């Protein structure tokens, strides 16, 4: 059985706390339930934050993870028996706000003041909570094949 790590562990592996890793955690939870005991390979069309939750939960390596970055949040998980799980972001469901977007560049680029960094982290926590309180089906769909 794939064990879903604690959220804090996944956020630490990701390097920061953000709504994207919260959504990834929700996806990983559903994926771990689907996978059961089976090892999985993952095909991803994004390098965005949610990917890290799957990477960490399933211990993905270069051999088990294929990334073709198309800027879209889609994952296809496959078991050795060929069963597949498709995880697709609901279009337009990305959790963000304009103030956070404006600060992100400065914070990531290392040019933000201490105040701006604190404000950015505060916004990220709010959005993270919003991601957790939003029902899964409003964020992503699951389909098996
Ligand atoms: Zn992130």
118, part of any domain:
no
73, part of any domain:
yes
- Mean per-residue pLDDT over the chain, rounded: 96
What is the total count of domains within the chain? 1
Distance 40 CA to ligand 1 centre (A): 23
119, part of any domain:
no
> Which residues span the domain enclosing 62?
7-94+135-144
Q: Rounded to whole angstroms, how far apart are CA atoms 91 and 140?
A: 9
Task: Return the CATH number at 61.
Answer: 3.30.1330.130
Cβ–Cβ < 8 Å for 24, 10: yes
pLDDT score at 1: 77
84, part of any domain:
yes
pLDDT score at 59: 96
130, part of any domain:
no
127, part of any domain:
no
Distance 8 CA to ligand 1 centre (A): 13
| Full strand arrangement of the beta sheet holding 65-67 | 65-67, 41-44, 74-78, 84-89, 140-144
Distance 1 CA to ligand 1 centre (A): 26
Distance 96 CA to ligand 1 centre (A): 12
Torsions phi, psi for 62 (to 5 deg)? -60, -25
For the stretch 64-103, pLDDT in tens is 999 999 999 999 999 999 999 999 999 999 899 999 999 9
Q: 50: pLDDT confidence band, cut at 50, 70 and 90?
A: very high
pLDDT at 51 over 90: yes
For the stretch 109-136, pLDDT in tens is 999 999 999 999 999 999 999 999 999 9
Q: In the chain, how long is the greatest CA-to-CA distance?
A: 52
120, part of any domain:
no
pLDDT score at 2: 87
Distance 82 CA to ligand 1 centre (A): 31
């Amino acid at each position: 059985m794939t064990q879903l790590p604690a959220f804090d562990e996944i956020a630490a592996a990701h390097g920061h706390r953000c709504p994207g890793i919260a959504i990834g955690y929700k996806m990983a939870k559903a994926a771990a339930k689907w996978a059961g005991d089976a090892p999985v390979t993952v095909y991803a069309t994004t390098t965005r934050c949610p990917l890290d939750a799957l990477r960490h939960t399933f211990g993905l390596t270069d051999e088990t993870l294929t990334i073709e970055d198309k800027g879209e949040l889609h994952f296809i998980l496959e078991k050795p028996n060929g069963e597949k799980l498709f995880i697709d972001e609901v279009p337009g469901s990305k959790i963000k706000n304009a103030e956070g977007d404006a600060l992100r560049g400065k914070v990531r680029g290392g040019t933000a003041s201490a105040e701006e960094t604190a404000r950015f982290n505060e916004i990220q926590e709010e959005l993270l909570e919003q991601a957790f309180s939003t029902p899964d089906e409003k964020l992503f769909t699951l389909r098996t094949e």
